[in-house]
Structure formats: C-alpha cells, structure tokens
Amino acid sequence: MSKPTILCVDDERNILLTLRNQLMQDFPDFMIEIAESAEEAIEVVEDLLSNGIELPLVIADQIMPRMKGDQFLIELNDRYPKILKVMLTGQASAEEVGNAVNRGSLYRFMSKPWNKQDLQLTVSEALRSYQQARKIEQQYLDLEQAKLELEDLNTSLEKQVQDRTQQLQISEERYRIISEISP
C-alpha cells in the first residue's frame, strides 16, 4: 500500500523544492508530491486518488499563472471536500484569503517566508485533524451498520414473536375445542 501523500503547489520551483525537502524530513511516513500550477495539481490529485492513494493535505501558493490559489482551493474543495487545504503565500489580499476560507474551506493561511517550526506544527495538526475526521467518519459508518443489523435483528425477533403467538393461539383454540368435546 502506498504512503499517504501531501501535495505542494507553487509556480516557483525553488520554493517547491525547499518545501518538499523540509516536509520529507519532518514527515517521512508521507510522500511529498509537487505541482507547478493549479492545472497540474488537479491532474496530480485525480491521479493519486484514482490510484487509491490517500491525500490528506494540499499546500498551495496564491499567486500562480492562469489560476490563482484561492480559485484552485475552491475547485479542489468542490471536488474533494475532505482534503485539507493550506495557503502558503507572500502575496494574498484579505479578499482572496477570505474567499479561500469561506468557499474553499481553508484549514490555515501561512505567510512566506515560513517559519520551519510553524510549518511543521501546521502540517502535524492538519494531519492529526484529518485522521481524527476519518476516525469519526468510520465510527459513524460502523454505528450505521450496527443500527441496520439491530433493525434486522429486531424485525426477525418480532416475526418470531408473531409466529410463536400465532402457534400459541392455535394451540389454545385446539385445547378449547378438545376440552369441549371431551366429557
């Protein structure tokens, strides 16, 4: 089974490589993928998910050619709302950040240049939050399954009670008839 993956998106290759190197050191249990545009990132996301690779986190810049980071994060959220999203940028207006928060379910905004410990803590907390959400979702599914099984069992038991009640009524009727016939 493949390692879960963190995707970093930025049009500046040197930033991507620095970010990837730090994340690889800090999170060795994760693959770190990079994309140099929002369009490329969408392809990477689709490829990873279609191959059954878990993608808990995407970190994206705001200022990129063709599609800005907030629009990318909104599109990503529309398609895959469970993926957590972090905006890491040196240039973003309050409107763009608000747009990503409100419509893209932005997990966190971070400024460039980033503080190594802050990035590590942000990613750690995002991954913890993602795992917690998955655990809660699985527990909910388990409870739903248990509920369905209990409903089936209850239906079966009610049927057994009805059948047994009917058998007892028939037996009582037979006994009454036999009692009337016998002297």
Q: Is residue 157 part of a domain?
A: no
Return the pLDDT at 1: 62
Give the pair of three-digit tokens for residue 180. 């009337």
Number of independent structural domains in the chain = 1
Residue 58, in any domain of the structure: yes
Q: How far apart are CA 66 and CA 46, in angstroms?
A: 19
Range of the domain at 76: 5-138
107: DSSP letter: E
- In sign, the C-alpha dihedral spanning 83, 54, 121, 73 is negative
Alpha-carbon radius of gyration of the chain: 29
Sheet with 31-35: strands ordered across = 31-35, 5-9, 57-60, 84-89, 106-111
pLDDT for 183 equals 66
The per-residue pLDDT for 38 is 95
pLDDT of residue 71: 92
User: Residue 17's domain is classified under what CATH number?
Assistant: 3.40.50.2300
The pTM assigned to this predicted structure is 0.77
Residue 88 included in any domain: yes
- Give me 86's structure tokens: 């972090």
In a domain, 75, yes or no: yes
Tokens standing for 150? Answer: 């209990």
In degrees to the nearest 10, what's the CA dihedral of 45, 51, 56, 57?
-30
Q: Is 174 domain-assigned? A: no
Q: Report if residue 178 sits inside a domain.
A: no
> Is residue 180 included in any domain, yes or no?
no
Structure-token pair, residue 165: 């009640």
Per-residue pLDDT in tens (0 to 9) along the chain, 183 residues = 689 999 999 999 999 999 999 999 999 999 999 999 999 999 999 999 999 999 999 999 988 889 988 899 999 999 999 999 999 887 776 777 777 777 778 898 888 889 999 999 999 999 999 999 989 988 988 899 999 999 989 999 999 999 898 988 888 888 888 878 876
How many Cα neighbours within 13 Å face the side chain of 137?
7
